[in-house]
């Protein structure tokens, strides 16, 4: 974090400052801000956030011992560390992030990019950060730091020398993106797609549309909305951008997009295409698995070129990316048995894309195996969407379907009902049972997709299979 006085921080948070030791109102702090006492170090600021299973106030002593010089708390803690007492620690975190970004922006050339979408946020964030880091100091979220805690923590990592802040915005409910994006008002807002992910929490796809469009509403006047020209719902956000007013930069596979891809070819080693932007073209060899990641790459290129990066530079930097993120289309195992661990998140759209990729990258004499778990947060749509994925897996010709967990049982039943098979689709209640089956069933030439929502825990099964067949 940038250097701020204790007085200024307390004033920003509207909290009561309790000084300890030699600290004064003018004492400056500039360390890392975090809610996890295990990563706090000398000079850092610890935010004691109450949680569902524990209370951050219990870890103020550990944070002080680790070297923290300031604790932001909701009630005083009997510990010799300077504290700022606030009504709501999470709200205070947001207030501090807003102030820090505003001060850096006022002093320098900081540009803020916000990214949202039902799928692809983290991959696009990582691709864009890779492009921008060669242009100047770039701050981007670790993992999927995109909620009311993670997004402000990322914002608080900016320094006086930061040139780009890339923020990923998830939506826990209506108004969530508006609140987070409103802390920084992005110069560029990227909307990837509007799909069924989390539809249960928004009352359907139209609710998801309204939630994702909040990022375009939050644009700074004169900013740029980077929108998916191939998604009809995202395309409907263009008038929102005009009202800011902001310009629109389209990405997609169609000829009308400002940044588009042609001649897309998918293999087990990655995806190749030709990218066109602003009258220029360049071949792109993306090592991240999956045709669907072409759209994420196009979104990153569209944002980067809007910030002045050349197409040639953007493409060259993307080609150095070997893995977008752990547990996202992550190749494991060996050439003998290839495991693709994509079990960090799952929605109907991402599940469908991953199954298509499995079918595309499997060659003659190789067998497709899909290890599938539940897709969460679909609410009333869960049954029909699991049915649809089961049907799609059969129609894509996936040769072995392994379904895990009671929440995914309808996927298994749909697959069995669609195919006239004898054992090609199997069901297990637990990942351990599936592991025992798969270690005996998988054979040379198998290409195995492991896909589920985070809550199903199949990412750990994917890791175990990858190690077993390495």
The CATH number of whichever domain residue 453 belongs to comes to: 3.90.190.20
Residue 374 lies in a domain: yes
Residues 15 and 60 in one domain: yes
Any idea how long the chain is? Answer: 470
Residues 224 and 281 in one domain: yes
Q: pLDDT, tens digit, for every residue of 108-127?
A: 889 999 999 988 999 999 99
- pLDDT score for 108: 80
Number of domains composing the chain: 3
Residue with the bigger pLDDT between 18 and 172: it is 18
DSSP conformation class of 55? B
Residue 323 lies in a domain: no
Q: pLDDT, tens digit, for every residue of 148-181?
A: 999 999 999 999 999 999 999 987 778 999 999 9
Residues 338 and 360 in one domain: yes
Where residue 218 falls among pLDDT bands split at 50, 70, 90? very high
The CATH number of whichever domain residue 42 belongs to comes to: 3.40.1390.10
Q: At which of 260, 288, 318 does a domain end?
A: 318
Residues 83 and 97 in one domain: no
Residue 335 lies in a domain: yes
Residue 324 lies in a domain: no
Residue 350: give the domain boundaries. Answer: 330-468
Residues 307 and 344 in one domain: no
Residues 360 and 401 in one domain: yes
Q: At which of 37, 71, 87 does a domain end?
A: 87
- pLDDT score for 203: 66
- pLDDT score for 52: 79
For the residues 322-349, what does the mean pLDDT come to?
90
- pLDDT score for 333: 94
Q: pLDDT, tens digit, for every residue of 432-445?
A: 999 999 999 999 99
- pLDDT score for 142: 85
- pLDDT score for 338: 95
Q: At which of 71, 87, 103 does a domain end?
A: 87
Residue 55 lies in a domain: yes
Residues 56 and 177 in one domain: no
Residues 129 and 257 in one domain: yes
Comparing 75-89, 198-212, 418-432, the range with the smallest average pLDDT is: 198-212
Residues 100 and 249 in one domain: yes
Residue 325 lies in a domain: no
DSSP element (H, E) containing 394: helix 382-395
220 pLDDT above the threshold of 60 = yes
Query: Which residue, among 287, 297, 284, 253, has the nearest Cα to 267 in the 3D structure?
Result: 287
How distant is the alpha carbon of residue 311 from its chain centre?
Answer: 24
249 pLDDT above the threshold of 90 = yes
**Binding site per annotation, positions for ATP:** 117-123
Question: How far apart, in Å, are the Cα atoms of 210 and each of 120, 346, 395, 453?
Answer: 18, 21, 33, 23
- pLDDT score for 197: 59
Residue with the bigger pLDDT between 365 and 95: it is 95
Q: Is the four-CA dihedral 62, 146, 323, 460 of positive or negative sign? A: positive
Model pTM score: 0.90
45 pLDDT above the threshold of 70 = yes
Residue 66 lies in a domain: yes
How distant is the alpha carbon of residue 428 from its chain centre?
Answer: 29
Give 448's strand partners: 339, 369
Exposed e or buried b for every residue in 313-325, given b needs 16+ CB within 10 A? ebbebbbebeebb
Residues 81 and 97 in one domain: no
Q: pLDDT, tens digit, for every residue of 370-402?
A: 999 999 988 888 999 999 999 999 999 999 999
Mean pLDDT across the chain = 94
* Number of helices (H), then strands (E), in the chain: 17, 22
> What's the CA gap between 250 and 262, in Å, rounded?
15
DSSP 303-353: HHHHTT--HHHHHHHHTT-S-SSTTSSEEEE-SSEEEEEE-S---HHHHHH
**Binding site per annotation, positions:** 117-123
Residues 232 and 356 in one domain: no
198 pLDDT above the threshold of 70 = no
Residues 149 and 222 in one domain: yes
- pLDDT score for 180: 96
- pLDDT score for 225: 98
> What's the CA gap between 139 and 162, in Å, rounded?
7
Residue 265 lies in a domain: yes
- pLDDT score for 418: 84
């Amino acid at each position: 974090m940038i250097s701020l006085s204790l007085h200024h921080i307390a004033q920003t948070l509207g909290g009561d400052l309790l000084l300890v030791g030699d600290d004064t109102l003018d004492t400056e702090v500039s360390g890392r801000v975090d809610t996890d006492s295990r990563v706090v170090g000398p000079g850092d600021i610890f935010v004691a956030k109450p949680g569902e299973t524990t209370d951050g106030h219990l870890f103020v002593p550990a944070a002080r011992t680790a070297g923290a010089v300031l604790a932001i708390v909701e009630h005083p803690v009997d510990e010799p560390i300077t504290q700022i007492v606030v009504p709501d620690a999470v709200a205070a975190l947001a207030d501090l992030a807003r102030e820090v970004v505003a001060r850096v922006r006022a002093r320098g050339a900081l540009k803020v990019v916000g990214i949202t979408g039902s799928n692809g946020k983290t991959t696009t964030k990582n691709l864009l950060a890779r492009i921008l880091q060669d242009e100047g100091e770039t701050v981007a979220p670790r993992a999927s730091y995109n909620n009311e805690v993670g997004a402000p923590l990322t914002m608080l990592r900016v320094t006086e020398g930061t040139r780009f802040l890339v923020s990923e915005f998830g939506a826990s409910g209506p108004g969530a993106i508006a609140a987070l994006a409103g802390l920084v008002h992005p110069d560029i807002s990227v909307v990837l797609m509007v799909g069924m992910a989390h539809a249960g929490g928004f009352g359907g796809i139209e609710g998801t549309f309204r939630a994702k469009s909040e990022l375009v509403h939050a644009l700074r006047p004169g900013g740029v909305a980077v929108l998916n020209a191939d998604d009809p719902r995202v395309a409907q956000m263009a008038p929102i951008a005009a009202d800011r007013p902001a310009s629109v930069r389209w990405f997609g596979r169609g000829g009308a997009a400002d940044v588009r891809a042609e001649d897309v070819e998918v293999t087990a080693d990655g995806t190749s295409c030709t990218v066109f932007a602003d009258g220029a073209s360049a071949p792109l060899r993306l090592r991240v698995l999956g045709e669907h990641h072409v759209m994420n790459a196009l979104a990153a290129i569209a944002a980067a070129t809007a910030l002045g990066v050349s197409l040639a530079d953007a493409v060259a930097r993307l080609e150095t990316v070997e893995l977008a993120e752990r547990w996202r289309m992550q190749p494991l195992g060996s050439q003998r048995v290839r495991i693709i661990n994509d079990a960090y998140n799952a929605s109907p759209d991402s599940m469908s894309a991953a199954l298509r990729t499995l079918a595309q990258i499997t060659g003659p004499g190789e067998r497709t195996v899909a290890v599938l778990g539940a897709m969460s947060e679909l609410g009333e749509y869960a049954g029909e969407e699991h049915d649809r994925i089961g049907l799609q897996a059969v129609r894509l010709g996936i040769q072995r379907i392994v379904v895990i967990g009671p929440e995914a049982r309808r996927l298994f039943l749909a697959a069995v009902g669609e195919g006239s098979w004898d054992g090609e689709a199997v069901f297990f209640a637990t990942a351990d049972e599936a592991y025992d089956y798969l270690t005996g069933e998988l054979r040379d030439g198998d290409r195995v997709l492991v896909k589920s929502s985070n809550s199903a825990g199949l990412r750990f099964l994917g890791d175990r299979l990858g190690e077993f067949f390495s």
